[in-house]
A and B are shown apart, each in its own frame.
Chain A
C-alpha cells in the first residue's frame, strides 16, 4: 500500500532551496497525523553530503539519486529518475516546491505515472478536524456538506490553493490515484528549527540512464549577476506602494529598514512596474509570498493580488491616507495618515529608541 510523505528536495549548484526545507516542516506535521514517515529525495551529481541537511530539517530517511546526468536540471533525466523512484517506493504523498523547476517536473511525472497533481498549493491538510478549523476561520464554506461527502475519518490530502487570480480558493483532492502529488508555494509553509545532530537513514537509488535521455542540449547557463535580495528571508519588511509618491522615498524606507534588525524593503507591483525598484522586491500574487514577523505597508491600498502575497505575515502595520483602504482589513495596526509625515518621525523615534536602549 502506498505509504509515507516524500519531499523532492530542490538543489541548485548543490544548495538545498529553502522551499524544500519548508516542505519537510509541513510534511513532518502531516506525517504525525497519518502515522507515516517523512522521506527526503535529492537528485544531482555528487550530492550525497546534502542528505544530512534534510535529516536535520525533519526527514527520517533520505533517498539519494546521483548521476552526472543530473548535474544541471533537465526535465527528462529528472522525470525518468523520479518515476523510477515512485515505482520502487510507492509513496502516499509526493511534494515539490512550486518553483520553475518543480512546476516543470511535477506535471511530467504525474502524467507518466497517471496520477493527480495540484499546483501551487498554499495549504495542506490530512486531518479533517484541522481542515475544518481552518475553513471555519478562513471561509464561509459549507463544512456540513463536506462532512457528508468525505466523513470525518478521511485521511486523503486536502490541497488548498488560490485560483482566479486569488479571488477564489479551492480545495482539491486526489482520492483514487497514488501518489497524491502537489507543488507548494515557496514561503507559505514553515521549516522546523534545525535538529542538530539528527540521524536518519540515507539510501542510494540507482537509475540506468541512456544517452537519449538527455534530449536537449544546454548551451549556456547564465546566473543572475547581482546577488538577489531574498525578501522572503527577511524578518521585517518595510514595504512601499504607490502612495510613497516617488522612487526617492524608497531611500527613506531603507533608513527605517536599516534601524530594524533583519529588515529589508519591498514593494507593491505598482512601483515595480513604474521602475522605481527591482522586480525581485515585489510582494504579491505575481511577486513573492512573504510571511515576515512584521510587514509595514506604506501607501499600499491592499489589492487582492497584493494581499495574496503578504496577508499571512505574523503582524501587519499599515499606514494609509484613506481610512477605507482595504489594507486596513488585514492589519493588526492601521494608521490613517500621510507616510511622508509619519515615516520621518518614525526614523527619529527609532534612533531615539536605540540610543536609549542599546
Chain B
C-alpha cells in the first residue's frame, strides 16, 4: 500500500507577532515547525506501515518555498520512505482551493492508496485543504480521525464529533485528516537523520504539473478568496481597576452585578 502524507511547514504561532505600524507579520527569527496535526499524520502512517509489514511505503509531500525541505527532511528522519517538495513561483499566494488543486495534481502523478493530511494548520486554521484534495481526486474523505487501523483495503477510522464519534469503514483509495490525538509523533532517529540528508527530495514545479492544472485556478490570481486586510486586534479598553481591600472589592462586584441585572 502506498500511503502519502501531506504536510505543511508553519511558523510556531505562539511567537508570531504583527508589526504594529505596517500590520505585516514579523516572521524573522520565528522558528518553523511541521504542523502538529500533520506530524501526527506522519506518525500514524508509519505505524500503519509497520502494522502492514508488507512492503508498504510512506511518502511525504509538502507544498511551500524551497526552505520547506527542512520539514521534509524531518519527516524522512522520522522514517518516511521518500519526499516531494511542490515549489514554484506560480503556486505562491494560493488559497485553500488553489492549494488543493496543486497538491491533488501532484498526488495524481505520485500515486497513492491512502492519503493523510492534518485536520488543520495552526497558521490558517482552515481545515479545508484535506477535504478539497479528496474532492479533486474524487475519493472519499474521513476527517477528524482520532484512531485508525487497516485490514486489506479497508481503513477503519474513529471519526470525532463534538458530541459523539463514528466508527467508519472506508475503502482505499481514500483520504483521512488527522487530529493531533491520532498518534504521538516519534522522535527523529539518529541514524535516519544522517540518511535524511543524503536522500533526494523530488522537487515538482509548475512545469511538472501544468498538464493537469488550469493555470487560471492557482496562485494569488487564481484563488477565489483574497485577503482584504489583516490587522492586530486592539484591546477593548480597560474599565475600572480597583486595588482595594476585599470587602470593598466584593461590594464593587455586587454593584456591577446589580447594574447588569445579573442579580
Residue A50 CB within 8 A of the other chain: no
Is the Cβ of A167 less than 8 Å from the Cβ of B256? no
Partner of A236, one of B20, B166, B262: B262
A165 touching B13 in the complex, CB below 8 Å, given contacts A110-B97, A218-B167: yes
User: Is A177 within 8 A of B252, CB to CB?
Assistant: no
Q: Judge whether A198 is part of the interface by a CB distance below 8 angstroms.
A: no
Which of B23, B132, B140, B246 interacts with A107 by CB under 8 Å? Answer: B132
Residues of A within 8 A of B223 (CB): 116
Whether B167 pairs with A219 at a CB distance below 8 angstroms is yes
Instruction: Knowing A164-B25, A167-B18, A342-B246, say if A333 contacts B252 (CB, 8 Å).
Output: yes
Q: Determine whether B53 belongs to the interface, using a CB cutoff of 8 Å to chain A.
A: no
A140 on interface, CB distance cutoff 8 Å: yes
Q: A317-B256, A323-B243 known; A163 and B136 CB under 8 Å?
A: no
List of B residues within 8 angstroms of A116 by Cβ: 95, 97, 223-225
- CB within 8 Å of A: which B131-171 residues: 131-132, 134-136, 140-144, 156, 160-171
Could you mark each residue 20-59 of chain B with 1 if its beta carbon is under 8 Å from any beta carbon of chain A, else 0?
1001010000000000000000000000000000000000
Q: Is the CB of B233 within 8 A of A138?
A: yes
Which B residues touch A261, using CB under 8 A?
Answer: 263
A342 close to B239 (CB less than 8 A): no
Task: Write out the residue numbers on chain B whose beta carbons fall within 8 Å of the beta carbon of A150.
Answer: 228
A222 touches B167 (CB 8 A): yes
A194 contacts B by Cβ under 8 Å: no
SS of B interface (majority) = mixed
Residue of B with least CB distance to A221: B166
Least CB distance from A169 to B in Å reads 5
Answer whether residue B124 sits at the interface, using C-beta atoms and an 8 A cutoff: yes
A221–B25 alpha-carbon span in the complex (Å): 43
Residues of B within 8 A of A314 (CB): 260
Q: Is the CB of A172 within 8 A of B225?
A: yes
Q: Does A75 lie within 8 Å of B141, measured CB to CB?
A: yes
Q: Which of A113-169 contact B (CB under 8 A)?
A: 114-120, 135, 137-142, 145-146, 149-150, 158, 162-169
Known: A217-B169, A222-B165. A337 touches B144 (CB 8 A): no
Q: B127: CB under 8 A from chain A? A: yes
- A69 interface contact, C-beta 8 A: no
Residues in A neighbouring B130, C-beta threshold 8 A: 107
Taken together as a complex, chains A and B put the C-alpha atoms of A342 and B252 apart, in Å, by 11
Say whether B232 faces chain A, with CB atoms less than 8 Å apart. yes
Q: Which parts of B89-103 form the interface with A (CB within 8 Å)?
A: 95-97, 100
Taking the closest CB of chain A, its distance from the CB of B146, in whole angstroms, is 11
Q: In the bound complex, what is the Cα–Cα distance between A85 and B231 (angstroms)?
A: 36
B85-129: CB near A (< 8 Å → 1, else 0) gives: 000000000011100100000000000000000000011111111
B190 at the interface (CB under 8 A from A): no
- Given A108-B131, A167-B16, A224-B164, check contact A334 B234 (CB 8 Å): no
A38 to chain B, nearest CB (A): 23
Instruction: Output the least CB separation between A52 and chain B (Å).
Output: 24
With known contacts A172-B225, A173-B226, A345-B250, A219–B168 Cβ distance under 8 A: yes
Query: Taking the complex as formed, is A336 at the interface, i.e. its CB lies under 8 A from any CB of chain B?
Result: yes
Task: Assess the B128–A12 pair: CB atoms within 8 A.
Answer: no
A101 within 8 A of B: yes
Contact of B25 among A99, A168, A336, A338 (CB under 8 A): A168
Q: In the complex the two chains form, is B134's CB within 8 Å of A108's CB? A: yes
B16: nearest residue on chain A (CB-CB)? A164
In whole angstroms, how far apart are the Cα atoms of A326 and B97 in the complex?
37
- Give every chain A residue within 8 A of B161 (Cβ-Cβ): 99-101
Given contacts A99-B162, A332-B240, contact A174 B224 (CB under 8 A): yes
Complex-state Cα separation, A76 to B175, whole angstroms = 13
Partner of A315, one of B25, B124, B260: B260
CA distance A217 to B155 in the complex (A): 11
* A182 smallest CB distance to B (angstroms): 10
Determine if B128 and A332 form an interchain contact, defined as CB atoms under 8 angstroms apart. Answer: no
For chain A residues 212-255, which have a beta carbon within 8 Å of chain B?
215-224, 228, 235-236
Chain B residues within an 8 Å CB radius of A167 = 13, 16-18, 232
CB of B247 closer than 8 Å to a CB of A: yes
CB contact between A165 and one of B16, B227, B242 (< 8 Å): that residue: B16
- Nearest chain A residue, comparing its CB with the CB of B243: A336
B229 touches A216 (CB 8 A): no
Which of A21-29, A54-62, A87-95, A346-354 touches B? A346-354
- Which B residues are CB-close (under 8 A) to A173? 225-226, 228
9 contacts between A and B (CB under 8 A): A12-B163, A140-B20, A167-B17, A170-B230, A216-B168, A219-B167, A331-B241, A337-B246, A350-B254
Residues in B lying within 8 Å of A, measured CB to CB:
11, 13-14, 16-18, 20, 23, 25, 95-97, 100, 122-132, 134-136, 140-144, 156, 160-171, 217, 223-244, 246-247, 249-254, 256-257, 260, 262-263
Q: Show the binding face of A for B, using Cβ within 8 Å.
A: 12, 72, 75-76, 79, 99-101, 103-104, 106-108, 110-112, 114-120, 135, 137-142, 145-146, 149-150, 158, 162-177, 215-224, 228, 235-236, 260-261, 293-294, 296, 311, 314-315, 317, 319, 323, 328-338, 341-342, 345-346, 349-350, 353-354, 357
Having A108-B141, A120-B127, A176-B224, one finds 7 other A-B pairs with CB under 8 Å, namely A168-B18, A170-B231, A171-B229, A174-B224, A177-B224, A333-B256, A345-B246
Q: Which 9 A-B pairs have the closest CB atoms?
A: A116-B224, A165-B13, A116-B225, A107-B128, A334-B241, A139-B231, A220-B167, A119-B126, A332-B239
